């Protein structure tokens, strides 16, 4: 190593740096020697080439990104929720608006954390407030529902997808149980406070939503509901 003869002032990224007695580099194995004018010239040439190559890579990358944007392709993580998260967000919104379960209970029901639940609710535009425990004693009714989805004609497809959406978006809210994958019979556990509310849940929130989902794919629903706790009751 050889010492330089004077101090040198440099400016790197707008920051002024003072190098006191800069040193020269002389390799004992490679032909590198910055203590001579020729060595410093070669060293600076290599540094300039490396910087030139880095700038070329940056320019090509930016040009590629601009071309992709012009074709409608945007990089980065997609905005919004995935299909699975979207279904959970809908179910979480319904449970939260019912006000029958606490935030902790809803998160446990959907298999997500409380932070994720709040994120889903904000994504759905739900106003978040303090949980108020119901004053009326909660009742529970276990029912068996037979539900089949059919297409309007032989030229229409989509009943299997409609059935999956009904299970994920509607029946899963009520602890859906079924004996096997292809069964059309489900056991639901419905919390309610009055008989009028129970009727509304079955006719509007379960059967009504099922009909609406099937209709979106030009299908219809055949369904019967029977109480397991009170066999004389049916819908």
The three state secondary structure string of 41-63 is HHHHHHHHHHHHHHHHHHHHHHH
pLDDT value at residue 136:
61
User: Would you state the pLDDT for residue 3?
Assistant: 42
Please report which residue ranges of the chain form alpha helices under DSSP H: 37-70, 83-98, 103-110, 114-123, 159-169, 195-200, 209-216
Question: Cα separation of 86 and 91, whole Å?
Answer: 9
The residue from 50, 70, 90 where one domain ends is 70
Q: What is the pLDDT of residue 2?
A: 42
For residues 45 and 22, membership in a common domain is answered with yes
Length of the chain: 235
Of 117, 133, 149, the residue that ends a domain is 133
Residue 76: what pLDDT?
A: 64
Token pair for residue 117?
Answer: 């639940």
Q: What is the pLDDT of residue 21?
A: 47
Same domain, 33 and 105: no
The pLDDT of residue 20 is: 40
> Residue 163: inside a domain, yes or no?
yes
In a domain, 36, yes or no: yes
Same domain, 145 and 208: yes
Q: How many domains does the chain have?
A: 3
User: 150 with 226, same domain?
Assistant: yes
Domain membership of residue 75 (yes or no) is no
| Whole-number Å distance between alpha carbons of 234 and 112 | 34
Q: What is the CATH number of the domain that holds 157?
A: 3.30.70.1130
First to last CA, the chain: 94
Residue 85 lies in a domain: yes
Same domain, 218 and 196: yes
Q: Is residue 128 part of a domain?
A: yes
- The CA distance from 51 to 49, in Å, is 5
Confirm whether 167 is domain-assigned.
Answer: yes
Residue 188 near residue 179, CB atoms below 8 Å: no
Residue 51's domain comprises 2-70
pLDDT at residue 201, as a whole number: 92
In a domain? residue 229: yes
Q: What is residue 222's DSSP assignment?
A: E
DSSP characters over 107-144: HHHHT--HHHHHHHHHHTTPPP------SSPPEEEEEE
Tokens 């990358």 -> residue: 61
Statement to judge: residues 109 and 42 lie in one domain? no
Residues 235 and 148 in one domain: yes
Say if 48 falls within a structural domain: yes
Those residues with Cβ within 8 angstroms of residue 214's Cβ, 6 or more apart along the chain or in another chain: 149, 159, 162, 166, 220, 221
φ, ψ of residue 17 to 5 degrees: the values are: -125, 135
Write down the residue that tokens 């203590």 correspond to. Answer: 35
Give 169's contacts (C-beta < 8 A, 6+ positions apart).
87, 90, 91, 209, 213
Q: Residue 117: which CATH number?
A: 1.10.10
Would you give per-residue pLDDT tens digits along the chain (235 residues)? 444 445 444 444 454 444 444 566 666 777 777 778 887 888 788 888 889 999 999 999 888 888 888 887 766 666 677 878 888 888 888 888 887 788 888 888 888 888 888 888 888 888 887 656 655 677 899 999 999 998 888 777 888 898 899 998 899 889 899 888 888 899 999 998 888 999 999 999 999 999 999 998 888 999 999 999 888 899 8
Query: Could you tell me the two tokens for 109?
Result: 């029901």
């Amino acid at each position: 190593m050889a010492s330089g003869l004077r101090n040198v002032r440099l400016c790197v990224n707008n920051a002024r740096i003072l190098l006191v007695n800069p040193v020269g580099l002389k390799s004992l194995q490679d032909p590198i020697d910055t203590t001579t004018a020729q060595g410093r010239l070669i060293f600076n040439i290599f540094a300039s080439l490396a910087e030139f190559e880095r700038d070329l890579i940056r320019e090509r990358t930016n040009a590629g990104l601009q071309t992709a944007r012009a074709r409608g392709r945007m990089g980065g993580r997609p905005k919004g929720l995935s299909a699975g998260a979207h279904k959970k967000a809908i179910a979480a919104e319904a449970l939260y608006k019912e006000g029958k379960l606490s935030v902790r209970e809803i998160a446990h029901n959907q298999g997500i954390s409380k932070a994720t639940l709040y994120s889903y609710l904000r994504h759905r535009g739900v106003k978040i407030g303090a949980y108020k425990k119901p004053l009326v004693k909660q009742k529970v009714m276990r029912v068996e529902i037979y539900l089949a989805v059919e297409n309007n004609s032989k030229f229409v497809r989509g009943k299997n997808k409609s059935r999956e959406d009904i299970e994920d978006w509607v029946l899963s809210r009520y602890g859906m149980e079924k004996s096997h994958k292809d069964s059309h019979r489900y056991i639901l556990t419905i919390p309610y406070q009055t008989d009028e509310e129970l009727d509304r849940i079955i006719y509007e929130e379960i059967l009504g939503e099922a009909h609406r989902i099937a209709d979106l794919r030009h299908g219809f629903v055949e369904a019967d509901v029977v109480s397991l706790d009170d066999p004389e009751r049916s819908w």
